[in-house]
Amino acid sequence: MIIQGFDPIAAPDAQILILGSMPGVASLEADQYYAHARNAFWPIMGELFGAGPEIPYAERKTILMANGIAVWDVLKFCRREGSLDADIRAELPNDFAAFFAGHPRVRRIGLNGGKATKIFQKFAEAHAPAAAVATRLPSTSPAYAAMSFARKCELWRQALLGPQV
């Protein structure tokens, strides 16, 4: 099945870009990033920025943008049955040259899992601002249960906001 991703959540002054690979089935059905009830993305955003899953989706997006956070996926289209990144085929990336031209203040790029990291390195890394630091983060997917929520949250905090003092 051919899947199309979403437009980015991003204000022009974004300083942090969070990239996933491609929305899963629950997200596509809900027309929302990270809509699966067990995905840790929104709980982490709640801990870091006050944009938790208990808040309506439109408000969460507004909170992230107000905090300089952009959310997108590395892929615009792909073939995939189900939601697993391992099943992604026929990848077509988003237009990162245009995105970074329109968002020149991005300095931190958080890559949500291994597949997002590999695809970013293959298609998008060359377009990132020279001063931007890209960090592979533990996947928020419920399929990645080997790490505790607290540890995932701490690694995301360090990558996106720097170490706590």
**Which domains does the chain carry?**
2-161 (3.40.470.10)
| pLDDT score, position 165 | 43
CA pair distance 102, 90, nearest whole angstrom: 27
Residue 86: band (very low, low, confident or very high) from pLDDT cuts 50, 70, 90: confident
Query: pLDDT at position 89, please?
Result: 85
Tell me which long-range contacts 33-42 makes (C-beta under 8 A, separation of at least 24).
33/6, 33/9, 33/71, 34/140, 36/83, 36/141, 36/142, 38/142, 39/140, 39/141, 39/142, 40/140, 40/141, 40/142, 40/149, 40/152, 40/153, 41/112, 41/140
pLDDT digit string (tens) for 34-77? 999 999 999 999 999 999 999 999 999 999 999 999 999 999 99
CA distance 2 to 15: 31
pTM for this model (two decimals)? 0.94
Which band of pLDDT confidence, cut at 50, 70 and 90, is reported for residue 85? confident
119-140 tens-digit pLDDT: 999 999 999 999 999 999 999 9
Least Cα distance to 31 among 64, 13, 52, 5 occurs for: 5
